[in-house]
Amino acid sequence: MPWTSRPRRCPVLGDGALEQLKREGRIVVVGASLAGLRAAETLRAKGFVGSLTMIGDEPYEPYDRPPLSKGVLLGRARAHRTALPRLRSVDATWRLGVPATGLDMAARRVRLADGDDVPYDRLLIATGVRARPWPRPEEAELDGVFVLRTRDEGAALARRLDEGPKRVLVIGGGFAGSEVASACRERGLPVTVAERGAAPLVGALGGVVAAVAAGLHREHGVDLRCGVMVTALEGDASGRVRAAHLSDGSTVETDVVVVSLGALRNTEWLNGSGLGAGPRGIACDAGCRAFDIRGIVTDDIYAAGDVARCPHPLFGYQFLSLEHWGNAVAQAGIAAHNMLSESIDRLPHMDVPAFWSSQFGVNVKSVGVPSMATDILISQGSLDSRRFVGVYGYQGRVIGAVSFDHGRWLPFYKELIERTAPFPPQFPTVDRHTDGQQPMDADFPDPSVPSHGPTVTLSGYSPADRRMTFTPAH
Amino acid sequence: MSIAVDLNRCQGYAQCAFLAPEIFTMHGDEALLYDPDPDEAQREKLAQAAAACPVQAILVDAVDKPAEAVPGAR
Ligand SMILES: Cc1cc2nc3c(=O)[nH]c(=O)nc-3n(C[C@H](O)[C@H](O)[C@H](O)COP(=O)(O)OP(=O)(O)OC[C@H]3O[C@@H](n4cnc5c(N)ncnc54)[C@H](O)[C@@H]3O)c2cc1C
Ligand code: SF4
């Protein structure tokens, strides 16, 4: 459908324009989930009384995803009852169950799959990521093969686990895969985890901590296979998965496979729009304003949450893509604030990344960007006891920290990261049972060797991101 | 009634699990598990737990959900 250019109201320029935007502007949010909802709430809280449209391809009101791999799989919560709490009224027009399929930046309109298009004065893109599917479509479609990102996927997997499968195979030992394996073991189900890297969580936390994670898996009865790849899934005559073949020549008989190979960013709908969006996400400035493909920042298009990639001053201004709940909330607040602010009043998103997970009854938390580090020092507790804090260092400074059942200490380490404190940290450790105070190689895998993928990605410019043919006019 | 817990903030003090054990339970020493959509009958206890959380990590509905944002409605 060709775009018709229409005269547009432009409340951006001139005196009182901002007031006019707040009073009668049109704001459209694409992606009606965590970031979208929190942004909408912030817009209303900041006095926006114009029209607000929430577009979401899922048919559900915004819901929370972390419980899907935790409480839901344990049968302690139900997938269709994880709606996000409403912190205030957003008074929006909801277009749910219909994906956005295109963006016309010149005409300021979002095209929807049902043929409609929605005009905006300010646009927030919060389309997040989706689970990376099993690469071979015929095998991915076998009955019993699951991914876990959405409420429907969570419900379907929980139902299948209720039926008591004879074995579950988890492909990928990242946070999500480890949580799935943990829940299955707690339900008494036999589980195999196949991880391409040397140990679970190795991409996110490095080999030293990953060895502890591997111990947790094994101690809880997980059949953990590392350094192997699943090469093929095999179905029976009725199209149900029955076995998986591994690169070491072995076969795992299984009737449930959970593919947990990381995520793909939902940016395809922006192809050809001229926005700086690609497989690594939507490039934006520290104030969440999206760049166009020419590298010029837009004034009316913002991005927040898992789909955004923003430069971070604490981490060398590298573009960071984070798949973290807290990041989605924080960026949504910043984007909403900036949309309604004069340039001088805009705020940067400078939160230190933070993440939690729980698996095998252990509370795992991290702050900063561990995957950027080269060294680690166990500053409290001990690896053997699986209760510890590890501090990550990079070029002589503290860049991240991880805790296993030592979460209360993390705010202290977060402050060290904010202060760009030197590494190794210069404080005497408070407890005796440390693994010495010597930094060691954090043992991150070569980033060019794919594993399940960390949930933080440093994504500086790469020509592979380009979605345009670059032909300068002059 | 929907709730979400900001587990980045949560320090595992278990106040909530003490005040509203039907909704919040500790999983191991520090990890918190919770029911994201507790029964209406728990409202009072939930309010107490949310108020007692020392880091205010428990997020609870402040308003009712609009009809147009529920499944099936457009
Ligand atoms: C199983 C699981 C467990 C997790 N556990 C943790 C955890 O323990 N700790 C933590 O910090 N984080 C965790 N996360 C990550 C956290 O849930 C995400 O960071 C967060 O959901 C990001 O929110 P978002 O709004 O940016 O994106 P999303 O939640 O991905 O939402 C994006 C929405 O946009 C929709 N959409 C996509 N394309 C379109 C389109 N073209 N048109 C309209 N709508 C579209 C999507 O369907 C989706 O509903 C977990 C995630 C999962 C899946
Ligand atoms: S009271 Fe707050 S900090 Fe304590 S366990 Fe509950 S949510 Fe966490």
The pLDDT tens digits for A101-121 are 999 999 999 999 999 999 999
Res A358 pLDDT > 50: yes
- Of the candidates A76, A84, A362, which has its C-beta nearest B31's C-beta? A362
Six-digit token string for A153 = 């996927």
Nearest ligand to residue B31 Cα: 2
Q: With a cut of 50, say whether residue B74 has pLDDT above it.
A: no
Yes or no, beta carbons of B36 and A64 under 8 Å apart: yes
- The confidence score (pLDDT) of residue A451 equals 54
Looking at the partner chain, which of A81, A86, A408 has a beta carbon nearest the beta carbon of B63?
A86
Say whether A355 and B73 touch across the interface (CB within 8 A).
Answer: no
Q: Which residues make beta-bridge pairs with B3?
A: B60
How many residues comprise chain A?
A: 474
DSSP A88: S
Between chain A and chain B, the number of residue pairs with CB atoms below 8 A apart is 115
Say whether the ipTM exceeds 0.85.
yes
Q: Closest Cα partner for A390 from A352, A359, A436, A421? A: A436
Tell how strand A129-131 and strand A289-291 pair up: unpaired
User: Is there a contact between A363 and B69 if contact means CB atoms under 8 Å apart?
Assistant: no
Distance from CA of A293 to the nearest CA of B (A): 34
Check A86 against B71: CB less than 8 A apart.
no
Query: With a 6 A CB cut-off, is A324 part of the ligand 1 pocket?
Result: yes
What average pLDDT score do residues A222-248 get? 97
- Which of A186, A171, A184, A182 has its CA nearest to residue A216? A182
Q: Which helix (H) or strand (E) holds A327?
A: helix A325-339
Residue with tokens 């005796």: A432
Give the closest of A71, A92, A407 to B12, CB-based: A407
Looking at residue A379, the DSSP 8-state letter turns out to be E
| pLDDT tens by residue, A281-290 | 999 999 999 9
Mean pLDDT within A19-38: 97
A96 interfacial to chain B (CB closer than 8 Å): yes
Chain-chain contact of B36 with A408 (C-beta, under 8 angstroms):
no
Rounded to 10 degrees, the C-alpha dihedral A321/B69/A158/B13 comes to: 70
Q: What is the pTM of this model?
A: 0.93
pLDDT digits (tens, 9 = 90+) for B26-65: 999 999 999 999 999 999 999 999 999 999 999 999 998 8
Distance from A202 to chain B by nearest Cα, in Å?
Answer: 21
Give the residue among A21, A31, A42, A20 at the shortest CA–CA distance from A121.
A21
Between A7 and A111, the higher pLDDT residue: A111
Backbone φ and ψ for B41, nearest 5 degrees, come out as -65, -15
Alpha-carbon span B49 to B56, nearest angstrom: 10
Among B8, B9, B55, pick the best mutation site for testing chain A contact (most A Cβ within 10 A).
B8
- Residues A120-162 pLDDT 10s: 999 999 999 999 999 999 999 999 999 999 999 999 999 999 9
Q: How confident is the model at residue A446 (pLDDT cuts 50, 70, 90)?
A: confident
What are the pLDDT digits (tens) for A46-57?
A: 999 999 999 999
Residue pLDDT, tens place only, A453-463: 556 666 655 44
- Please say if the pLDDT value at position A449 is more than 80: no
Q: A240 - beta bridge partners? A: A143
Position in ligand 2 atom list of the atom nearest CA B11? 3
Chain B contact for A459, CB < 8 A?
Answer: no
Q: Give the separation between CA B65 and CA B48, rounded to whole angstroms.
A: 22
